[in-house]
A and B are shown apart, each in its own frame.
Chain A
């Protein structure tokens, strides 16, 4: 499960995911391999939540991913 993080200007600036007790924050950076994996996994059906914790539909998630760098 992934969740969007918003920054000081209320913009989406990173992605959060937790595995066990380790919290990962992933930047929106195309060279980052965790970011590459995030996009693949969401397109393959992994859950994506907006910054308020609302679960996106697969269509919403797909549209969001397509707009990312």
Chain B
């Protein structure tokens, strides 16, 4: 086969060389927030590994941890997202437990969903559970009023299995193609009847899983591990789209950017705008989805400005100005220096932590 023929065939099957997999961190390698630590989900959405959110009606029903249980990942992967059920919870009709990822509208604009030209997509992933049976998930729009429930089967307990689901694109409904949520991809862990729908068809409803799916949170200690998640254009699952680590990290940083963690780490210059008024500015390494929220762990002497052989310890920082490319921070509570002096801002404690979030 000539290269020209091969390229022509790829083009005809919709295989992209640029951004085949619309899922970010599908191989579960990046965990900026928790660095591999376990997270117990709260009620609502709790971010876990980068881009992956635990969705729960009630808190503390399951935990999520990168490489939980320390099993060997499928061949070709080094990490997975591990869910562990924390109780034997009987999910009521209005209950819902799932992991999910929001794909930004810009990254699915070419699917043409909501039009007559809607493209078919295929979801594929590796999954391993202590439970067997029929499991469920959905694709959903941002308004939660278009859902496609699907099922897949786990045949053998504690064994990695490869799953594929092909979904004809939705020709109706509103699907954002902006920096809002384009498509939700959800995998149910126990969903009540109110939020469960018939598999295999688009519905004008807010479904989170398919009717009859197995409840992971229904069994204390049950596990559900997943990796190699890929959503691609076309009706056939193709090989996982391995992107360079730096590329994958930068894709994650558009939504969550860990600036600094740990002690004695420089992270910005700063200056005294007034004697008790410390300011600094950081140009971000990526353009974030929108102006970010800062999340800063506070504590006595957690941050320190070193200037003219002097250490000025402070407890926290406020981000007062931000856009998708820059943030300005300040401290007006503990800062004590001389207006006009400047220095380097460092972390001062092992628990020091500064991050920015612009999640969907």
**A residues apposed to B, CB below 8 Å:** 5, 7-8, 13-14, 16, 18, 21-27, 29, 31-35
Interface of A (DSSP majority class): strand
Decide if A21 touches B298 in the complex (CB within 8 Å): yes
Q: 0/1 per residue, B40-58, Cβ < 8 Å to A? A: 0000000000000000000
Q: How far is the CB of A16 from chain B (nearest CB, A)?
A: 6
B216 interface residue (CB < 8 Å to A): no
Q: How far apart sit A31 and B316, CA to CA, in the bound complex (Å)?
A: 25
B290 interface residue (CB < 8 Å to A): yes
Q: Decide yes or no: A21 and B299 within 8 Å by CB, A29-B291, A32-B290 being known contacts.
A: yes
Q: 0/1 per residue, B284-321, Cβ < 8 Å to A? A: 00000111111111110000000000000000111111
Q: Decide yes or no: A27 and B322 within 8 Å by CB, A32-B291, A32-B292 being known contacts.
A: yes
Interface hub of B180, B292, B317 (most chain A Cβ within 10 A): B292
From B102, which residue of chain A is reached at the shortest CB distance? A33
Q: How far is the CB of B326 from chain A (nearest CB, A)?
A: 11
Which residue from A5, A13, A22 sits with its C-beta under 8 Å from B295? A22
We find that the number of chain B residues with CB closer than 8 angstroms to chain A is: 27
Interface hub of B290, B293, B357, B360 (most chain A Cβ within 10 A): B293
Q: Which residues of the partner chain B approach A29 to less than 8 Å between Cβ atoms?
A: 290-291, 322-323
From A14, which residue of chain B is reached at the shortest CB distance? B320
Q: Which of B179-217 contact A (CB under 8 A)?
A: 179-180
Decide if B360 touches A33 in the complex (CB within 8 Å): yes
Known A21-B297, A25-B322, A29-B323; further 17 A-B contacts with Cβ < 8 A: A5-B320, A14-B320, A14-B321, A22-B295, A22-B296, A23-B297, A23-B298, A24-B294, A25-B296, A25-B318, A25-B329, A27-B293, A31-B179, A31-B180, A31-B289, A32-B293, A33-B360
Which residue from A23, A25, A34, A35 sits with its C-beta under 8 Å from B320? A25
Which residue from B273, B289, B318, B360 sits with its C-beta under 8 Å from A16? B318
Q: How far apart sit A16 and B329, CA to CA, in the bound complex (Å)?
A: 12
Q: Which residues of the partner chain A approach B329 to less than 8 Å between Cβ atoms?
A: 25
Decide if B293 touches A26 in the complex (CB within 8 Å): yes
From B316, which residue of chain A is reached at the shortest CB distance? A23
Decide if B294 touches A25 in the complex (CB within 8 Å): yes
B168 interface residue (CB < 8 Å to A): no
Q: How far apart sit A21 and B358, CA to CA, in the bound complex (Å)?
A: 20
Q: How far is the CB of A19 from chain B (nearest CB, A)?
A: 9
Q: How far apart sit A44 and B292, CA to CA, in the bound complex (Å)?
A: 24
Q: Can you report 15 residue pairs joining A to B where beta carbons are below 8 Å apart?
A: A5-B318, A13-B320, A14-B319, A14-B320, A21-B297, A22-B295, A22-B297, A23-B297, A23-B298, A23-B318, A24-B294, A26-B293, A27-B319, A29-B291, A29-B323
